[in-house]
Amino acid sequence: MNIWSYIFRRILYVIPVILGVCFIIFFIFNVCAPDPAQSLLGKHATLQQMEEVRRELGLNKPYWEQYIDIVKSAFTFDFGRSWQTKQEIIEMIKLGAVPSMTMTVPAFVISTILAIIISLMVSFFRGSALDRVTVITCVALMSIPSLAYILFGQWFFAYELGLFEISGYESGFPYFVPYIILPVTIWVFLAIGPDVRFFRTVMLDEVYQDYVRTARAKGLSEKKILFKHILKNAMIPIITYVIIQIPFLILGALLLESFFSIPGLGAMTITAVNASDFPVIKAMTVLSAVAYIIFTIITDVLYTVVDPRIRLK
């Protein structure tokens, strides 16, 4: 099948998925969630005012209309205004996406490249002391809660040693750089454990394949076997693992943004959850769902690029 018709067909499949996702979001936030009127109006709310607020927010509309509104927003990206801050949600998202990505993209790239290099090394020296030490270190890194990295990093490296800014953010390159070095470093430490363990497993699966033995028998160098054969064949699970994480890079890192006062989408989502700001939560949920679906399609298409044996159907 032609790649474009495949993409077109997949996009058509996306429509019922989005409708389903919208239904779940509608059910959670419009049917099950408590009435927000009083919490929005504060401690002096009157019944009449609450009624007016419900009308203003469209909460007195029939359920089917409220569902249509969510579906519309998923396709038009017009999410209305935040209940709490009265800001246009799409503007809030635009403003927040850049700071999120200035932190998450470098962190993701560095941690992924490092993890692939380390995994290749340990699979080359599989069973050796280096392999064991790496695996133990990975498990140890994974066992420490992310909050501990953040608290320690902020206190020791930023406050005690004064090497980094404790928190904050400034827009534009290179002004944001001093503010993201520490959160990026912490991200790398957080991500490297699970990444190395996953990549190592994937590569070891390949290491014991017949084609590797054949390559060795033919006298190919270990370097060539690792980089040309093993890495190439391990790319499919690696691509899946990597690309599926991309939507979450746009959406930011909840704890890191909150602790480092980075005005990204992660911090925005936490604030919205704490304030029961449903339009913002709904917008973020719809966006994540849409982004997840899009990146799944991209993953499928990329499979054919790394492995021509795979055909799109």
Partner 1 sequence: MRNLKNLSFLALSLLLTLGFQSCTKKQNLDEKVLNLAVTAEIKGLDPIYANDLYSSSEVARVYEGLLEYHYLQRPYTLTPNLAEAMPTVSEDGLTYTFKIKQGVLFHDDAAFPEGKGRELVAEDFVYSIKRLADPKLQGLGWWMIDGKIAGLNEWRAKNAEKDSVDYSEKIEGLQALDKYTLQFKLTKPFPQFLYSLAMPFTFAVAKEAVEKYGKEFINHPVGTGPFVLPVYQQSNKIVYTKNPNFRKKLFPTGASEQFKEIEAANKGKTLPLVEKVIVNLMKESQPRWLNFQKGRIDYISVPKDNFDSAITPDNGLTGNLAKLGIELAILPSLDVTYTAFNHDLKLFQNVNLRRAMALAVDVHESNKLFYNGKSLPAQSIVPPGIAGYEKNFTSPYREKDLEKAKALLAKAGYPEGKGLPEITYDCPSSTVSRQQAEHFKKQMAELGINIKVIQNTWPELQKKIQKRSIQMWGIAWGADYPDAENFLQLLYGPNRAPGANGSGYDNADFNRLFEKATVMQDLPERTALYEKLNRMAAEEVPLIYGVHRQNFTVKHSFLKNFIPTDFDAGQAQYLDIDLKAKAEVLKKL
Which spans of this chain sit near partner 1 (rule: CB under 8 A)? 33-36, 38-39, 41-47, 49-50, 52-53, 56, 81, 84-87, 92, 95, 151, 154-155, 158-159, 162-171, 177-178, 181, 258-263, 267, 270-271, 275-276
Distance (Å, whole) CA 206 – CA 230: 6
DSSP-assigned beta bridge partners for residue 81:
88
Distance (Å, whole) CA 203 – CA 206: 5
Residue 81 in 3-state DSSP? strand
Distance (Å, whole) CA 307 – CA 203: 16
CB of residue 169 to partner 1, shortest distance in Å: 5
Nearer Cβ to partner 1 (25/37): 37
Nearer Cβ to partner 1 (80/194): 80
Nearer Cβ to partner 1 (116/272): 272
Tokens (6 digits) for 307 = 């492995």
CB of residue 50 to partner 1, shortest distance in Å: 7
CB of residue 71 to partner 1, shortest distance in Å: 24
Token pair 């380390």 in the structure block, residue: 118
CB of residue 168 to partner 1, shortest distance in Å: 7
Label residue 175 exposed, middle or buried (CB < 10 Å: 0-12, 13-18, 19+): exposed
Residue 165 in 3-state DSSP? coil
Nearer Cβ to partner 1 (271/299): 271
CB of residue 247 to partner 1, shortest distance in Å: 22
Nearer Cβ to partner 1 (92/246): 92
**Residue 84 dihedral angles phi and psi, to the nearest 5°:** -80, -50
Nearer Cβ to partner 1 (34/62): 34
Distance (Å, whole) CA 139 – CA 56: 52
Distance (Å, whole) CA 313 – CA 2: 9
**Residue 234 dihedral angles phi and psi, to the nearest 5°:** -85, 0
When computed from its CA atoms, the radius of gyration of the chain, rounded to whole angstroms, is 24
CB of residue 43 to partner 1, shortest distance in Å: 6
Report which DSSP code applies to 260: T
Token pair 């690696």 in the structure block, residue: 238
Nearer Cβ to partner 1 (71/89): 89
Nearer Cβ to partner 1 (86/218): 86
Range 184-194 burial, b when 16+ CB lie within 10 A, else e: bbbbbbbbbbb
CB of residue 36 to partner 1, shortest distance in Å: 5
CB of residue 63 to partner 1, shortest distance in Å: 19
Distance (Å, whole) CA 84 – CA 162: 36
